[in-house]
Structure 1
């Protein structure tokens, strides 16, 4: 049996520590975002429980391993332009000698251990989690979830080892079957891109996804305008930045009169607090005086509204067509 009877302080009984959601090793270019604003130039302000069921089962705690396990090196993911871009979340842990497993099964082989020397000494970085359907319990808290962690050891760890009030990791994608979440397909139609864009209008418990240049949404994409458009287009998570969307490998310039559903209007000038991008849906009138678009804008979040970005003389918004659309 791998359950330890020796614990560190039970911080999880208080469950006051919340995780810090972050992008794992995203470089400066990867963090560049954008802010949306009113209907003028588009530049606005900066965006801003556990199941306590009775019953206990042997869990992934181990007092038999004496030698310090060196663990495995943190994996990184190459982003669209060479930046490290794996969506991840960082969490505190509690207790001692939690086993990290080879698969999302507490009966699988050990690949390392956390908190070997002291209770709660290690923080873990998780990129996805698996609902195993098999409930395990520790100190009155129960969970069916195993987190795939990349730091300090690469493998699967019971969520019970994480010092949070939930029985699963908030903000971390859930993937049944033990495989990493699959990125959106890079192909697809204009209609599919607009459909993906519309999902963020209600993805936050029935409301829009909030805006953030630093946070990562549950699907792995940054919660700013370029992360949002990257998601809609099916680009690699966590998404390129606004300038990256103008790359010749992703889009090509077109004229305003050529705009079709799923095309983009991009202001790539200035800095991350002035640049912006919206996804065009349709013209609102025959004279092309306004259009309806999808966007992720500062101090609000996902929006589907009438806009005039790019229609004023001298506007910095320019129309672009994603290369995935061949028409």
Structure 2
């Protein structure tokens, strides 16, 4: 870990250039899985007081006031089931020189590289998620508890203090609870654990259900719509795939309706983001299989655990699928 060797202050230019960056989901009230949602909590404001510089992984030798081209943040956008929104991978400017990129979201972990080795702010970084470490890091009047997992120009973890923005966390980038990226679906896995994760959103919002939104992400980094919720329960990579992705052969396989077991899915992948929906099967409610209990994230309501009949009606567009992570 290196340290700051010269003065500098965070540019104020970005305060004028930086728009309010938020996922611009296009939610419309429609079928049960597809309506706009509510905002969820906020993030800590960027601190403006200087603190112990020895905690920072940097060796800055130039002022953050140095003008550079393209200082505005560039967020990629995607259009899909949940509308147009900021993509998980985002491009940000940096300041200063010789910021250390770490192996994990811990300033004490080994270095895996460095940014801005030759000139202040020469590198832009791309980040796919960030971690709230709970440990405050300050440099030159800017502070943050976040470390970003960057994929460019080095793959590893970088303190958000190195990013030339006025916030203490990266706008539009999912927050993960842990230092390692989510693991992809794999053979094996526990159905009980999947259902337990699904149940957490029933009380995750200060004892109440997580509100529905096609644009917002919950504190665990997952999108707050039906497919983001199921992606969370299955342990897929945040912010989650859409219903078409959940029905793909890389994640699930079709099964017979009567073969449904806890953790399996019923997916309607037809139409658009106002009609598609997915629920997670928990159990049959009777021997005749006339209804079942499921977990779902539904429009105008949020997380729900209730009786459903999706897929049981003749000609229904809901089809049963089994996640590949379940070996049976």
| Structure 1 match to 2:88 | 88
User: In 2 relative to 1, CA 186–323 (structure 1 residues): closer, same or farther, beyond 3 Å?
Assistant: closer
TM-score w.r.t. length of structure 2: 0.66
2: CA distance, partners of 1:134 / 1:43: 39
Deviations for 1:196-243, whole angstroms, at most 9, x for unmatched residues?
A: 211222334444334344555454544332232233233454444323
Matched, 1:274 2:275: yes
| Structure 2 match to 1:259 | 260
1: CA distance, partners of 2:246 / 2:311: 16
| Structure 1 match to 2:231 | 230
User: In 2 relative to 1, CA 231–135 (structure 1 residues): closer, same or farther, beyond 3 Å?
Assistant: closer
Preserved CA contact (<8 Å) 1:35 1:274: no
| Structure 2 match to 1:77 | none
Q: 1:62 aligns with which of 60, 63, 70?
A: 60
User: In 2 relative to 1, CA 109–90 (structure 1 residues): closer, same or farther, beyond 3 Å?
Assistant: closer
Preserved CA contact (<8 Å) 1:252 1:323: no
Preserved CA contact (<8 Å) 1:142 1:167: no
SS in 2 for 1:102: strand
CA deviation after TM superposition for structure 1 residue 278, in Å: 0.6
User: In 2 relative to 1, CA 264–182 (structure 1 residues): closer, same or farther, beyond 3 Å?
Assistant: closer
Preserved CA contact (<8 Å) 2:37 2:212: yes
1: CA distance, partners of 2:286 / 2:30: 23
| Structure 2 match to 1:173 | 176
Q: 1:111 aligns with which of 103, 110, 114?
A: 114
Unaligned runs of 5+ residues in structure 1 are 23-30, 69-86
| Structure 2 match to 1:291 | 292
The number of aligned residues is 288
1: CA distance, partners of 2:140 / 2:227: 42
Unaligned runs of 5+ residues in structure 2 are 39-43, 69-86
2: CA distance, partners of 1:228 / 1:322: 14
2: CA distance, partners of 1:145 / 1:19: 18
**What is the aligned-residue RMSD (CA, Å)?**
4.5
